[in-house]
Structure 1
Amino acid sequence: MNQTESQWDKLLKIKTTGRDDSRSDQYRYPYEPTQYLVLERLANSGLISKKNTVLDYGTGKGRVCFYLSYQTRCRSVGMEYDERIFSAAESNREHAVSGRRVSFELTGAEEYAVPTDVGRCYFFNPFSVEILQKVLARIYESYYENPREILLMFYYPSEEYISCLMTEEALMFVDEISTEDLFEVKNERERILIFSVE
């Protein structure tokens, strides 16, 4: 059952549509929510369950957190550096049907100490490779503190991201979820790359 963007927002009792690039620069990219069709494919992949905690980097207004918590019953933590957009996420949390399983952090991703219960991390090109490398170091620190399965999920990855990820010794490429068939225009970036921390 493919719902439109606004129908899903209505069902989840949130407001997450629209793009916002008012605070974007060369390091931090615009807010643009992952389409629900893509999130549905991820939720149905079996990679996320109710025993997982998902960390969404550059959560924006929280769509990924609310949707995945609703569909998989996982706990979700969304990280956002822009105070204005963070306020919109918090406002959504007050009304959202899955709001009790969702929390948000107002912080820069590179400063955030990854909680030791996080086992899934989601990225939709939220920031530059320079920041990504610092974020990966934070994820590794959390892994060494509490060794566990950690899967990193990269939707619509750029060439720069792929090059960076493929050279990381602590990461192992696990799988790819194609999302190309969900859209009319063919685009080889329409996929979710899955890596595990080793």
Structure 2
Amino acid sequence: MKEYQYEEMLNINTAGEQQGYPRSLHYHPYEPTPYSALEALFSRYEVKRTDRVVDFGCGKGRLSFFIHYYCQANVVGVEMNETFYQDALKNRSCYKKRNQAGTIEFYQGLAQEYPINPHDNRFYFFNPFSLKIFIQTVQNILVSLERYFRKVELILYYSTEEYMFYLDNNTPFELKKEIPLPGLNSKDPYERFLIYSLPYL
């Protein structure tokens, strides 16, 4: 299915890239995950109705609506940009499947300040910010695990070497699965999903 067909089906508008917003050392410009990539991910990665997925740097909410529509899971989009946050809320009011199982929430604020919910168990990162912010956010997840132990997984799309080096060498997370995306850009080694989980669960 083409991008515009998904947008029409879900009755949302998440297309386009960030324009006219000041560049930041720590926060990267908005770019939604391609629907073709989401198709590839969820053909090989299961999200259950009982899961609660957090998307850091959710933009206008594309991932949230996709997961809610197809998996009926609870989703939380975290977005620091006021304009994109308002766009996400507008999309939620237009979303065709808003009355089905699962909830869609949006939190406006910095990723490292998001209060990790004890039910949050899947965390999605599309290279949204610098290594410094990533470390702070992952540390918040680990602190939450110390308080409310549960199985969690990190889903990384287009991950930097810095992200991977940090997870491999400074956290208990281990690479569980790699999902390549053939046909999108086979010459780009970053065009893939990496699933990290805890080895003792």
Q: TM-score, normalised by structure 1?
A: 0.93
1:56 has 2:55 as partner? yes
Q: What's the counterpart of residue 126 of structure 1?
A: 128
Which residue does the alignment assign to 1:189? 190
The corresponding residue for 1:14 is 12
The C-alpha deviation readout for 1:65-95, integer Å capped at 9, x for no partner, is 0001111111100000011110000000001
Q: 1:150 corresponds to which residue?
A: 152
| Preserved contact between residue 127 and residue 156 of structure 2 (Cα < 8 Å) | yes
- The 5 Å alignment of 1:11-160 reads 11-21=9-19, 22-100=21-99, 101-160=103-162
Provide the alpha-carbon RMSD of the alignment.
1.4
Kindly state the Cα deviation for residue 41 of structure 1 after the two structures are TM-superposed. 1.8
- Check conservation: 1:113, 1:142, Cα contact below 8 A: no
Paired residue total: 195
Q: Secondary structure at the match of 1:99?
A: coil
Tell me how far 1:184 sits from its aligned partner: 4.7
Q: 1: distance between equivalents of 2:97 and 2:147? A: 29
The C-alpha deviation readout for 1:2-41, integer Å capped at 9, x for no partner, is x111110110110000000514411000000000011112
Q: 1:185 offset after TM fit, Å? A: 4.8
- TM value normalised by structure 2: 0.92
Deviation at 1:126, TM superposition (A): 0.5
Q: Tell me the secondary structure at the aligned position of residue 44 of structure 2.
A: coil
Report how far residue 44 of structure 1 moved.
Answer: 2.1
Paired residue type of 1:76: V
Q: Percent of aligned pairs with the same residue?
A: 32
Are the counterparts in 1 of residues 79 and 109 from structure 2 also a CA contact under 8 Å? yes
User: What is the identity, as a one-letter code, of the residue corresponding to 2:26?
Assistant: Y
Q: Distance in 1 between matches of 2:178 and 2:74?
A: 23
Mapped to 1, the partners of 2:113 and 2:88 lie a distance apart of: 20
- Segments of 5+ residues of structure 2 without an aligned counterpart are none
Q: CA–CA distance in 1 between the matches of 2:126 and 2:47?
A: 17
Q: Name whichever of 17-26 and 71-80 sits farther off.
A: 17-26
**Cα distance between partner residues in 1 of 2:194 and 2:170:** 14
